[in-house]
Amino acid sequence: MIYLDHAAATPVSKKALKAMEPYFSDDFFNPSAAYLPAKKVAADYENAKNVIAHAIGAKGTDIVITAGATEANNLAFSFLDKGSVLYLETEHDSVRKVAESYGGQPIGVDKNGRILIDDLKAKMTDDVMLVSVALCNNEIGTIQPLSEIAAYLREVKMDRLARGVKRPVYLHSDASQAMNLLNVNIARLGVDLLTINSAKVYGPKGVGALYVSRDVKLSPVTLGGGQEKGLRSGTENVPGVIGFSVAVNEAYEHLNGNRKKYAELKRILLSELEGYELVNKKHTLDNFVVICYNGIDAERLIFLLEDKGVYVSTGAACAASKGVKSHVLKAIGLSDSEIAGSLRLTLGETNTKEQIHEAARLINEAANIERRRNG
Ligand code: PLP
């Protein structure tokens, strides 16, 4: 198997899996229980939360553990009034659909998928309380200039203050795809709310976290026993959080090595693949390679490649499974036929140079089969 879909899912690292194991069996206790073994589990849970929070430059008490990035994104919007959010038009559906439900307005992107700051400025009104821009896009890997956006929002705040406008404006970012290649730091990014995702950093699925600055007053997504400061009631997912904390540390240990490795693998892919257009040319994570074969149906390529044991995708796993055209590729100006011919290859820790040479050969072969079929 050659797996080139790490943006959809990453395998749980051996170290994370091992660290999780005791919390399914010997240390199964509910952290809210009053007896000693449960208190030890509660302490381990808090320690793991601290580790996750420290990785982004926050304190354990500043993050809310959620059941994944989707829930963290939903929670991030929970303080809003109708019509008070601006979001990037290329956001993952877990931001886009929530923003739409709050009557949000999309901000446009350029051909590289980078935010059009002028469009953000044009759409900024005194009603806006939240701007949501993912640090890295999940379909094309575009890295956004978040600190520039944060600097602009500081100007907006000063201007509101000077005019006696009391409404706050905050910056949220979904950093789900970022932590394998970037050192994600809340102060450097200038964010008030930040979503992170265990499932994309070789931790377990169904675990995520939302960093919440002290100024932001969120509303709970679930009501119940009052866990996670009352914002996300429900018995804590202790093994999941332990696994996430180990995976986050490993991701940071591997950061420099990963960058070098993926840059090299990407170089090999781009030099050995034939007859394609590169879609994500600039400002992109090195593990994202998005290519387009104009006139070829990428869905057919995927099936041909699957037969050879190569797993790739056409874009976001959730959109691909519903046969929906990518709103991201549309936003960066690709035509319908270019979208239909686009493949997303996302590299990860499982990949070797040998695999990449072989994948390039098999992708070329599959593209040639399709070209011949089209006559
Ligand atoms: N945000 C981004 C950028 C993602 O890539 C994903 C996962 O594909 C999500 C949110 C949703 O994550 P989850 O399915 O773990 O809730």
Query: What is the per-residue pLDDT for 82?
Result: 86
Helices in 255-352 by DSSP H: which ranges?
A: 255-272, 298-307, 317-321, 327-331, 336-340
What does the pLDDT look like over 9-51, one tens digit per residue? 999 999 999 999 999 999 999 999 999 999 999 999 999 999 9
The reply to whether ligand 1 has any atom less than 6 angstroms from the CB of 197 is: yes
Same fold for the pair 2-10+255-367 and 14-253? no
The reply to whether ligand 1 has any atom less than 6 angstroms from the CB of 96 is: no
**pLDDT band at residue 264, thresholds of 50, 70 and 90?**
very high
Helix (H) or strand (E) holding 66: strand 63-66
Range 14-253: architecture per CATH = 3-Layer(aba) Sandwich (3.40)
The CATH number corresponding to 2-10+255-367 among 3.90.1150.10, 3.40.50.1390, 1.10.3720.10, 3.40.50.2020 equals 3.90.1150.10
In Å, how far are 91, 214, 284 from 178, measured between CA atoms?
14, 24, 11
pTM, 2 dp: 0.96
pLDDT beyond 60 at 319: no
What does the pLDDT look like over 147-165, one tens digit per residue? 999 999 999 999 999 999 9
Helix (H) or strand (E) holding 150: helix 146-163
Percent of the chain whose predicted confidence (pLDDT) is above 90? 94
pLDDT beyond 90 at 274: yes
What does the pLDDT look like over 61-116, one tens digit per residue? 999 999 999 999 999 999 998 889 999 999 999 999 999 999 999 999 999 999 99
**pLDDT band at residue 321, thresholds of 50, 70 and 90?**
low
pLDDT beyond 90 at 221: no
Domain ranges of the chain: 2-10+255-367, 14-253
DSSP letter at 248?
H
292 is catalytic: no
Which of 67, 182, 255, 318 is the catalytic position?
A: 318
Question: Residue 33 has which token pair?
Answer: 């229980």
The reply to whether ligand 1 has any atom less than 6 angstroms from the CB of 70 is: yes
User: Do residues 111 and 284 touch, judged by C-beta distance below 8 A?
Assistant: no
